[in-house]
Amino acid sequence: MNETKKETLHVIGGGLVGPLTAIYLARRGFDVKLYERRGDMRRGDADAGRSINLALTARGLKALERVGLKEEIMKITIPMTGRMVHDRAGKTELQPYGQKEDEVIYAASRGLLNIMLLDAAESYENITILFHQRCLECDVENGSAVFEDINSGAKTEISGGPIIAADGAWSAVRKSMLENVPNYNYAQSFLDYGYKELEIPPAENGGFLMEKNALHIWPRNAYMLIALPNTDGSFTCTLFYPYKGENSFAHLQTPEDVTAFFKRDFADALELMPTLTDDFFDNPTGALATIKCSPWHDGGKCCLIGDAAHAIVPFFAQGMNSGFEDCVVLDDILEAAGGTPDWADVFARLETSRKPNTDAIADMAVENFTEMRDSVTDPHFLLKKEAGFALEKRYPGKFIPRYSMVIFHPEIPYAEARRRSIEQDAMLEELCRDIQTAEQIDWNKADALMQELSIAA
């Protein structure tokens, strides 16, 4: 896009957001060095790390499209049109995500996506990727960092160009900010739930043992199991379960405990999981954390991006998508800056633009856990969803369900989606108070209530 600049930028973290950040910067002519703690997964030198399946939605797809990667990455995805809800008897019901044909989300393997982003980054002559580089310390004020080669133990110091830290929820760079930036704000909150990853294998013929174009969910009020399809015919399942209590991981200590639990609560899934107990005891129990912090930057020498700045729980499928959206906003700011950017101003604008929105999606992600776990089988919730679709049809562009605003409308910032959804929910409660189906909506009342909604802040 621009001629190569002399300034070298350092991006720390070779997961998902790091390579995409590097690509955006390289397209603007910067020389970029990308540092990754793990080995090169493309050469079997490292695994893919966390592997809860990912869902690509409109915000992430927009970021990929801008750099010409959308079409290629879509080849490794599977469209999901809605939630396939499984009750205890094994009966299933599809709850569509939206009303339009293109209102779908796309399941993708974290590992495959990471590989494709690394390949894309490596195709740029002005991007250099360095693996096995553990960040030991970072001087955020002066923009320097020390790395240790995990294999040789050799240490390397970098300095000069700005550092952009995409090193994840447990960011080493953010830790340096917390320790060295005066009055640093940091909040970390964990759910009382952990997650365990399990698997449903492909059918013998390589096909799928369940409907492939859906996110499967077994909601059980205080806990749930979900399953997302993989391109090889398998499903990656994730059990979200309390750590303590009557129904909790604390009571699943033996293979017999696990089998009895699944037979009671997820019998139809159990029939498809021949390696259940092996998976359960071989795979670690993961934690679910929300992290908020500020500032994201210290002058113009260092800035956080993606999970390093705003880690969220996975229940709105927006962790990766919000990180990719960071890249779009950063690119817009650099476009407006032109020439040689003032990085202190660029980083300040990025945080000012993004933090209200990433705080909003962090809160909505926790709220969506309750919806997925409890509400998808609640008659009143289902009535409100039906009514929301009816209102969307009657007032196109004015009434948009919260899920749709977040997932299908990248032009609506997360904070605006949250604000509008609160008003809309109050409207739905009023309209659904004394009815049993959306066909009974009092449209005169609905017209009056719509006049009271503030569509844009």
pTM value surpassing 0.85: yes
Find the angle CA(87)-CA(437)-CA(398) to the nearest 5 degrees: 105
Predicted confidence at residue 46, as pLDDT, reads 55
Spell out the per-residue pLDDT of the chain, length 457, in tens: 555 456 899 999 999 999 999 999 999 999 999 999 999 998 886 554 445 689 999 999 999 999 999 999 999 999 999 999 999 999 999 999 999 999 999 999 999 999 999 999 999 999 999 999 999 999 999 999 999 999 999 999 999 779 999 999 999 999 999 999 999 999 999 999 999 999 999 999 999 999 999 999 999 999 999 999 999 999 999 999 999 999 999 999 999 999 999 999 999 999 999 999 999 999 999 999 999 999 999 999 999 999 999 999 999 999 999 999 999 999 999 999 987 899 999 999 999 999 999 999 999 999 999 888 888 888 999 999 999 999 999 999 999 999 999 999 999 999 999 999 999 999 999 999 999 999 999 999 999 999 988 775 4
Predicted confidence at residue 384, as pLDDT, reads 95
Predicted confidence at residue 49, as pLDDT, reads 47
Round to whole Å and give the CA distance between 14 and 36: 5
Find the angle CA(169)-CA(171)-CA(172) to the nearest 5 degrees: 160
> 217 forms bridges with which residues in the sheet?
85, 226
Round to whole Å and give the CA distance between 271 and 176: 48
Round to whole Å and give the CA distance between 307 and 301: 19
Structure tokens that stand for 369 in this block? 């856990």
SS3 letters across 285-307: EEEEEEEEEECCECCCCEEECCH
Structure tokens that stand for 277 in this block? 């107990």
**φ, ψ at 422 (rounded to 5°):** -65, -45
For residue 245, the one-letter residue type is G
Predicted confidence at residue 45, as pLDDT, reads 60
* E strand residue ranges, 117-223: 127-130, 133-139, 144-149, 155-158, 163-165, 185-200, 215-219
Listing from the earlier edge strand, what are the strands of the sheet with 127-130? 127-130, 31-35, 8-12, 163-165, 302-304
Predicted confidence at residue 457, as pLDDT, reads 43
Structure tokens that stand for 295 in this block? 């500032």
* Contact predicate 214/80, CB 8 Å: yes
Residue ranges and CATH numbers for the domains of the chain are 8-78+108-187+291-368 (3.50.50.60), 188-287 (no CATH), 378-452 (no CATH)
Q: Which residue has the tokens 């793990």?
A: 38
